[in-house]
Amino acid sequence: MSIESDYWGSLAGRFPCGRVQKGIRNRRDFLKKVGAGFGSLALLDLLAQDQILATSTPSIASNFHHRPMAKSVIWLFMEGGPSAVDTFDPKPELTRHDGLQPSMPMDVFFGSPGPLMKSPFNFRQYGESGTWVCDRMPHIAQQVDNLALIKSCFTESPAHGPAMYQMNTGFIRTGYPSAGAWLTYGLGSENRNLPGFVVLQNSRGSKGGANNWSSGFLPSEYQGTPFRAKGIPILNLNRPDGIDDARQRRMLDFARDLNLSHASQHSQDAELLGRIESYELAYRMQTEATDAVDLSKEPVSIHKLYGLDQEVTRPYGEKCLLARRLVERGVRFVQVYCDDEWDSHSGLKDQHSQRMLETDQPVAALLADLKQRGLLDETLVVWGGEFGRMPVSEKGDGRDHNPHGFLIWMAGGGIRGGVHHGELDEIGWKAAANPASVHDVHATILHCLGLDHERLTYLHNGRNMRLTDVSGDVIRSVLA
Domain that holds residue 431: 66-231+293-478
Give tens-digit pLDDT for 66-120.
Answer: 999 999 999 999 999 999 999 999 999 999 999 999 998 898 999 889 999 999 9
- In this structure, are 15 and 105 located in the same domain? no
In this structure, the answer to whether residues 44 and 100 fall within a common structural domain is no
At 89 the pLDDT is 98
Average of pLDDT values for 211-229?
91
70, 449 in Cβ contact below 8 A?
Answer: yes
Which position has the higher pLDDT, 10 or 32?
Answer: 32
Domain shared by 345 and 370, yes or no: yes
What 3-state class would DSSP assign to 132? Answer: strand
Does residue 94 sit in the same domain as residue 22? no
| Collapsed DSSP state (helix, strand, coil) of residue 134 | strand
- The whole-angstrom separation of Cα 92 and Cα 328 is 42
Do 335 and 197 share a structural domain? yes
- Phi and psi of 285, rounded to 5°? -75, -15
Which has the higher per-residue pLDDT, 278 or 345? 345
Phi-psi label, residue 469: left if phi above 0, alpha if psi -120 to 50, beta otherwise: left
For the chain, the distance separating the N- and C-terminal CA atoms, rounded to the nearest angstrom, is 69
**pLDDT mean over 194-213:** 92
Tell me the whole-structure pTM to 2 decimals.
0.82
Q: What is the β-pairing status of strands 123-126 and 131-134?
A: antiparallel
Strand-pair category, 197-200 with 423-424: unpaired
CA distance 433 to 438: 16
The reply to whether 249 falls in a domain is no
> What's the Cα-to-Cα distance from 131 to each of 31, 349, 353, rounded to whole Å?
68, 21, 19
Q: How far apart are CA 201 and CA 195, in angstroms?
A: 15
Q: Which of 272, 193, 287, 276 shows the shortest CA–CA distance to 232?
A: 287
Rounded to whole angstroms, the Cα distance separating 304 from 9 reads 70
217/112 same-domain check: yes
Handedness of CA 205, 211, 214, 219 (dihedral sign): positive
pLDDT, tens digit, 9 for 90 and up, residues 307-334? 999 999 999 999 999 999 999 999 999 9
Same domain, 87 and 49: no
Contact between 315 and 339 under an 8 Å Cβ cutoff? The reply is yes
Q: Is residue 287 part of a domain?
A: no
How is 295-343 classified by DSSP, letter by letter? GGGS-HHHHHHTTTTSTTTHHHHHHHHHHHHHHHTT-SEEEEE-SS---
Residues 125 and 23 in one domain: no
- Give the chain's domain count: 2
Residues 382 and 445 in one domain: yes
CATH number for the domain harbouring residue 108:
3.40.720.10
Question: β-strand 419-421 against 147-153: which pairing, if any?
Answer: parallel
Quote the radius of gyration of the chain (alpha carbons, Å): 26
pLDDT tens-place string over residues 12-55: 333 333 333 344 455 555 555 545 454 444 444 444 444 333 33
Nearest Cα to 216, choosing from 176, 172, 162, 275?
176
* Whether residue 162 has pLDDT greater than 80: yes
Question: Are 204 and 342 contained in the same domain?
Answer: yes
Does 8 share its domain with 77? no
Please, are residues 118 and 391 in contact by the beta-carbon 8 Å criterion? no
Please check whether residue 240 lies inside any domain of the structure: no
Residues 24 and 150 in one domain: no
Distance CA 333, CA 178 (A): 11
Above 70 in pLDDT, residue 156?
Answer: yes
In the structure, what pLDDT confidence band is assigned to residue 276 with cuts at 50, 70 and 90?
A: low
66 beta partners = none
Residue 436 DSSP label: B
* Residue 43 is assigned to a structural domain of this protein: yes
